[in-house]
Structure 1
Amino acid sequence: MKRSIKKVAVVGSGIMGSGIACHFANIGVDVLLLDIVPKELTEAETKKGLTLDSKAVRNRIVNEHLQNALKSKPSPIYHQKFASRITTGNTTDDLAKIADADWIIEVVVERLDIKKLVFEQIEKYRKPGTLITSNTSGIPIHFMSEGRSEDFQKHFCGTHFFNPPRYLKLFEIIPGPKTSPEVLSFLNEYGEKFLGKTSVVAKDTPAFIGNRIGIYGIQSLFHLVKEMGLTVEEVDKLTGPVIGRPKSATFRTVDVVGLDTLVHVANGLYEGVPDDEAHELFKLPDFVSKMMENKWLGSKTGQGFYKKVDKDILTLDLDTLEYRPNKKASFTTLELTKSIDKPIDRFKVLIGGKDKAGEFYRKNFAGMFAYVSNRIPEITDDLYKIDDAMKAGFGWENGPFEIWDAVGVEKGIELIKAANLNYASWVDEMLASGNKTFYSVNNGATYAYDIPSKSQKKVPGQDAFIILNNIRENKKVWGNSGATIQDLGDGILNLEFHSKMNTIGGEVIQGITKAIDLAEKDFQGLVIGNQGANFSVGANIGMIFMMAVEQEYDELNFAIKQFQDTMMRARYSSIPVVAAPHGMTLGGGCELCLHSDKVVAAAETYIGLVEFGVGVIPGGGGSKEMTVRAQDQFHKDDVELNILQQYFLAVAMAKVSTSAYEAFDTGILQKGKDMIVVNRDRQIAEAKKHALILAEAGYTQPIRRKDIKVLGKQALGMFMVGTDSMLAGNFISEHDKKIANKLAYVMAGGDLSEPTLVSEQYLLDLEREAFLSLCTERKTLERIQFMLTKGKPLRN
């Protein structure tokens, strides 16, 4: 049967319930969010003369929970206006409304008796055929649907979202004893396609896949810390970005999530998996038990493994359980990996370290390799699902089996034996069958070792994806140290950046020009996209700083003009250029999007022109383009100055969208032209599709514009009055005013006496002149240097 989701009912509005409701609202679904009726009035309600029968009182819990979620940072919602898609109510008065829902999600407290009671009530109103799922992190699914009807059980399963639902991609689907295969198939596809998740079907075992492996990893670390005498700072240094994990690493992550949350799952595992070979590792170390007694639970209680006192961050000493000043951690082994860009390439060096770090990695990975091998087929039949779960649920760049492949399967076995641990026999059988790795790549697709058939099988679900890692070498058309051009097939090329943070310098500029040249000569279109952490953080400001300090202004002028010319080359090529931004897309990365024929943005795109933060204006065509976009909004009888001012403020305030949807508000993305994809894995394939549509629709090379209406002194005067008043009110510094006035001069088209039609080149020349003049300012150089050394803007 064809199934569509138009309305979802979420029962339970706590942190998870509200987060799930917001994410469904993100993707355009109507949501009914319900919670219980309060048992008593608050003092404020009593003073207002309200009673327990008042609607405001009866919906107080759900409304407070939702409002708290909407105010939280990072926001659970792509755009605040999307909150209007959520209707609130209570389970006493409004439960009958779930009859209109296509999917009912239970997110109440983690107690089986309460969940069963809720399902009993839900079944009174649920229409047959409606999906019904429980968001549980560990209660066995088979217990929950006991006593329910055949139709209920057929359409029931667990759907475990990870918190926060907007940001963490893992979506575990756990079938019950009678769950229909059609339901599993639908949820798997819906999670990937619409919710933007990595869907993983798991077995109904304690903590499922993600938390079973993740909690093992953290608990084994807790025990290893004591065994090796490591400090909190040392562990966070060893388990963070150097191995492709989040900056918060281990202990800071526990502080953010909450120690009580971790302990709850660990205790559940200790009770639930008595036959697990690592059972004793799930027992809490003494220092964790003491922290629980003291209620040092992390951020929520103001202290955990770290504690902020005034401006200082103190660290917990795990031996004395007293807080002390932070100590910087450093290891020789880590220094050896500084020149290795990709974490996956560092593991061989890390396990070979001669210091304490090397010993730590050998023991840590030995334990993890042995543990994950022994979990198959207990928690899943497929090794790739374990890797998918750890990458999507815990933010690991590489899963355990990928890391094992990186160090070598036989080397991993050597580490396991040295640690006196046991691994699963299927690993030896894999090697004996001639398969020397867990993964392989064939014709651009990823294959994973399949235990029953003793062969590599294609990982399902890839047909909607283009994985650049898999085609980078086989489909490479051209490359230099900053960029690679690949053939995506069907006449479409892809240009991928791989400079540090994907900054745009000389080699990336060369790559853009070369890609357009090649596409114009032998192909139909070009996608500019990558699958790194960020699309691009902007121009290489280190290069700009060096030229400015050395006062090489001719060279700097040439570099800026080359950047501008490259952006215009993208705008006026004879083939369609589609940009596929994601993550941080700042400064020059944003300017590249502004000059593309179409933008296919990931929902999680943080895009904006941020050059004010380093003391300059957008110099790669960004100031020009925002002026053009403002004048394109001018209509007869409009107050044109107001429209121009909106675009001016978007640049002058260095506005960065907190999602791609917000970028429509700032004019960076354009309605009716640009589009958004929720699942980043689909982004390159989607961008390719749109490049092909543009090409096959008869794309014609645009004509350079000479019809841009600038307002001259009329606009310039208004902007300068504004910057004067901002300075007078101490909202901006003298240097901020100087930068803003330079931008005003460009966006007004200079001090022309009346509105005039000018060309894009005219505006580009003004923009470049303003950029150059600001690079001669000492305070601009201070801002650039501060950004390069501290990684954040300086207000001077």
Structure 2
Amino acid sequence: MSTPPLRIRKAAVLGAGVMGAQIAAHLTNADVETLLFDLPAKDGDPNGIVLKAIQNLTKLSPAPLADKSRAASIIPANYDQHLALLGECDLVIEAIAERIDWKRDLYAKIAPHLKKDSILASNTSGLSINALADVLPEHLHEHFCGVHFFNPPRYMHLAELIPCAKTLPEVVSGLEAFLTTTLGKGVVIAKDTPNFIGNRIGVFSMLSAMYHTQALGLGFDVVDALTGPAIGRPKSATYRTADVVGLDTMGHVIKTMDDTLPDDPWHQFFKAPEWLSGLVAQGALGQKTGAGFYRKVGKDILVLDPAKRDYVKETGTVSDEVAAILKIKAAPERLAKLRASADPQAQFLWASLRDLFHYTAYHLAAIADNARDVDFAIRWGYGWKQGPFELWQDAGWKQVASWINEDIAAGKAMSNAPLPDWVLDGRDGVHEARGSFAPSIGGLRPRSENPVYKRQYFPDRILGETPNLGSTIFETDAVRFWHLDADIGILSFKTKMNTISPAVLDGIQQAVTHAEQNLAGMVIWQFGEPFSAGADLGAASASLAAGKIDEFEQGVNLFQQTSMRIKHALVPVVSAVRGMAFGGGCEFQMHSAKTVAALESYIGLVEAGVGLLPAGGGLKELALRAAQSAIGGDVFGVLKNSFETIAMAKVSASAFEAKELGLLRATDTVVFNAYELLYVAITEARALAERGYRPPLPARAIAVAGDTGTASFKASLVNMLEGRFISPHDFEVSSRIADTLCGGVVERGSLVDEQWLLDLERKHFVALAQMPKTQERVMFTLKTGKPLRN
């Protein structure tokens, strides 16, 4: 008999600090009823500390809440009055300060109130889970573990799951499934060692970079130029990351390593550099205090110069030689040239990577089950494109291992600890299609067999893995139509940023026809982000520049008819959205039978930003939805939200916010784990087909706000124009948006059909596209990727 799934109806988070409050926010995002606990306030409302933390959630950027209204769903509580409420909770997450004595005291206090089968988890970033378990009653050991979220918990994919010695296997697997599907996390099972996997390797990488910064006399801004996107890491690189994390927090994590890893061969380096300690002593703790390694003065970003003990203007750039080396695509050649170069920047990169490889290989057996978990922990927790083992294997395992050995023998490495025997056993790496190296078995460990991963048709890949690309139905230069299951087709675009070109429109039409004739349904899904950046403006501008106005209008008409083809297909067309869905991409999903959107979907009809209006049926669809939802026939009242959204080119900050903006329907599905998106979309398409799906009837009696509605919108625009909040061309664009949404020059309450609204869209779009101000905006955006206000 299989283990029943873990059901979490209600949760509690203990500690309303930065992490605790944001964990509570993300549980609430996922519709988990959540209590947030902290100490009672000394004055006023006993829940004052928690209430302040909840209020602060609505102000933070990036936003912890998928929409601000969810803040009201978090239940405030305090330890003096509300401990009995813990008896209602299936999951309790402790997220107080990293003091083992404080955590133990809290556990002793709450233990009598926990129900027998509830799970207690600590969000500690590195304290021993077994040591924390000691204070708990014996029966709670089986339901206790570490669950370490990375900051900010809504956005960082990694969650480390750390069992204690007695944690039941079904608790671990159940939590893994809950974290994966409900909260959208990438779960790595870590061993109970200090700082676990992500911070053990990630913080060492930063310490190594700091050591070599000093040894080679490089500036902090130079090191950040070297250790950011130039080598596949986030823009925050090394020292900006430290500023974001907080230099006091960074110092604390380093001290934890110093205190808890006395036998580590690299122990002598587990000390905060003098300049880091000096900044902390001065109260310069990074971003939260306005100064750390960097300080912003006016519009200038200044960087600390340790020699001058003062901030100076940023001047750090990658040298020409190193820049040329980093452009080499072949990883073995790139790393060989870095090692051979006398340039201090090249030597810094080689030395930092060498010591990272050395440290990670030496400690693999102690901290993780296998090499895959280490690489995923660093990729998901620190935002690297490749983990340390992937970088090493990609650069040539045997050659790099011999170089590391040479440097150890020559005393150049940070430690003289020998490489493990398995590194030098003749292998070509640690990752293969069959699995990743696990020291405990001396062989390859395949991926987890937890049933939750059957929902991921295309999980995040590790080096050496090849995906099952399914069977191709047809393929062109612009699209591929294929399937994994014989009855549901999948359409994927092949254009840059998945933009929509005439060839993509043709591909959609062809796919719908094939699906109607041969399949139960189809899904529009992309292999990566974005879903679509919208219409290919460059292609459209070419025909316009050539004066082919009729051809240009025919192209717009084809776009509209393709949207309508999606909407009225005889089989369900489901859009699977993640990342950006702009312009035409947004319009296609609006016309789908259903949209399945990842939580982190950024959806918008952004054409006003380039002096145009949506003309792929988006305005038509908003007008139709307004008519369908208007209470008492007040269409204009419903359209106010839509007009503001389109005229201001608003983009949702989440899938939930897209519902608030009217760009997703209330009935559309939100998925928290983007790797489960295709599975859910196919399931939804099949469910619609099984229910005997029929497309909606053509709408022939749409009540519109008419010319009085347009006049009302224009009146507000005049005030904005006179106040110089908008330009004359903004007024022109917004007026045409208003005219389309309101149904043109007809009386209020007039009934029109969908084609009438499409014709209005197309007329205004073509007119705007011929205006010099719009053409300036389009060209500027194509060149810079930024909007122009002219």
Give the TM-score normalised by structure 1: 0.90
2:455 to 464, 471, 475: 464
Matched, 1:654 2:642: no
In 2, distance between residues paired with 1:769 and 1:410? 65
* SS of equivalent to 2:127: coil
CA–CA distance in 2 between the matches of 1:482 and 1:282? 53
Tell me if the contact between 1:610 and 1:651 (Cα under 8 Å) persists in the aligned partners: yes
Question: For 1:601 and 1:704, how far apart are their aligned partners in 2?
Answer: 26
- SS where residue 139 of structure 1 aligns? coil
Cα distance between partner residues in 2 of 1:614 and 1:476: 37
Deviates more, 1:116-125 or 1:525-534: 525-534
In 2 relative to 1, CA 794–754 (structure 1 residues): closer, same or farther, beyond 3 Å?
Answer: same
Q: Structure 2 counterpart of 1:595, which letter?
A: H
1:664-683 to 2 correspondence within 5 Å? 664-672=659-667, 674-683=668-677
The corresponding residue for 1:569 is 565
8 A contact 2:162–2:190 mirrored in 1: yes
Call closer, same or farther: CA 1:519–1:305 in 2, change over 3 Å.
farther
Q: How does 1:86-235 map to 2 (within 5 A)?
A: 86-235=74-223
User: Per-residue deviation at 1:273?
Assistant: 1.7
- Corresponding residue SS for 1:750: coil
Q: Which residue of 2 aligns with 1:699?
A: 693
Question: Which string of whole-angstrom CA distances, capped at 9 and with x for unpartnered residues, describes residues 305-324 of structure 1?
Answer: 22211122222335434322
CA contact (8 A) 2:470 2:483 kept: no
CA deviation after TM superposition for structure 1 residue 155, in Å = 1.7
1:701/1:128 CA distance change after superposition, 3 Å: closer
* 1:722 paired residue number: 716
Partner of 1:311: 299
Cα deviation digits, residues 321-355 of structure 1 (max 9, x gap): 43222336245578669999xxxx67456425566
Conserved in 2, the CA contact under 8 Å of 1:333 and 1:353?
A: no
SS of the residue 1:115 aligns to: helix
Aligned twin of 2:486: 490
* Correspondence list, 1:72-471, <5 A: 72-327=60-315, 329-332=317-320, 347-348=331-332, 350-353=334-337, 356=343, 359-417=347-405, 419-420=407-408, 422-429=418-425, 431=427, 436-441=428-433, 447-460=435-448, 461=450, 462-467=453-458, 470-471=466-467
Task: From 783, 793, 796, give the equivalent of 2:787.
Answer: 793
1:761 to 755, 758, 763: 755
Q: CA RMSD in A?
A: 2.8
1:557 alignment partner, one of 553, 563, 566: 553
CA distance in 2, matches of 1:542, 1:176: 57
CA distance in structure 2 between the aligned counterparts of 1:552 and 1:324, rounded to whole angstroms: 55
How many Å apart are 1:280 and its aligned residue?
Answer: 3.3
SS across alignment from 2:364: coil
Select which of 11, 18, 36 maps to 2:14: 11
CA apart distance, 1:455: 4.4
How far apart, in 2, do the equivalents of 1:268 and 1:87 lie?
A: 33
Alignment deviations for residues 355-387 of structure 1 (CA, whole Å, 9 cap, x no partner): 656554433333322222222210012111112
1:48 alignment partner in structure 2: none
1:378-398 alpha-carbon deviations (Å, 9 max, x no partner): 001211111221122112233
The question of 1:529 aligning with 2:532 is answered no
Instruction: Give the superposition deviation at 1:601.
Output: 0.5
Q: How many residues in Structure 1 have an aligned counterpart in Structure 2?
A: 767
- Bigger mean CA offset, 75-84 vs 285-294: 285-294
Residue by residue, what CA displacement relative to the aligned partner does 1:392-427 show, whole Å, maximum 9, x if unpaired? 211223322233333333343244345435533223
Native 8 Å contact 2:398 2:426 kept in 1: no
* Cα distance in 1 for residues equivalent to 2:134 and 2:763: 74
CA contact (8 A) 2:371 2:431 kept: no
Q: 1:147: Cα distance to partner? A: 3.6
Instruction: Report which stretch shifted further, 752-761 or 543-552.
Output: 543-552
C-alpha spacing 1:574/1:384, structure 2 compared with 1 (3 Å): same
Secondary structure of the residue aligned to 1:376 is: helix
- Quote the offset at 1:655 in angstroms: 2.2
Instruction: Determine helix, strand or coil for the equivalent of 2:365.
Output: coil
C-alpha contact (below 8 Å) 2:709/2:748 kept by paired residues: no
Counterpart CA distance in 2 for 1:545 and 1:231 is 46
Taking structure 1 as reference, are residues 240 and 347 closer, same or farther at Cα in structure 2, changes over 3 Å only?
A: farther
Provide Cα deviations, 1:606-645, integer angstroms capped at 9, x if missing partner.
211111122211122222222222222245x321221233
Task: Specify whether residues 695 and 282 from structure 1 end up closer, same or farther in structure 2 by C-alpha distance, changes over 3 A only.
Answer: same
In 1, Cα distance between equivalents of 2:383 and 2:760: 44
Distance 1:564 1:480 in 2: 21
Contact 1:129 1:151 in 2 (8 A): no
Distance 1:556 1:353 in 2: 51
* Segment drifting more, 517-526 vs 203-212: 517-526
1:472–1:182 CA distance, 2 compared to 1 (3 A): closer
Report the TM-score, using the length of structure 2 for normalisation: 0.90
Partner residue, 1:643? 638
SS of alignment partner, residue 166 of structure 1 = coil
8 Å CA contact 1:430–1:454 kept in 2: the answer is no
Change (3 A) 1:235 1:350: farther
- 2: CA distance between counterparts of 1:512 and 1:792? 29
Contact 1:336-1:349 within 8 A present in 2 as well: no
CA-CA distance at 1:272 after TM superposition: 1.8
Task: Give, in angstroms, the shift of residue 249 of structure 1.
Answer: 2.5
Contact 1:28 1:85 in 2 (8 A): no
CA drift at 1:295: 2.7
Aligned twin of 1:43 = none
The aligned runs of 1:506-545 (5 Å cut-off) are: 506-545=502-541
One-letter amino acid matched to 2:24: A
- Check conservation: 1:333, 1:349, Cα contact below 8 A: no
Q: CA deviation at 1:584?
A: 2.2
Question: 2:335 corresponds to which letter in structure 1?
Answer: I
SS at match of 2:491: strand
Residues 754 and 206 (structure 1), Cα distance of their counterparts in 2 relative to 1, 3 Å cut: closer
Q: Determine if the alignment matches structure 1 residue 33 to structure 2 residue 36.
A: yes
Q: Which one-letter code corresponds to 1:11 in the other structure? A: L
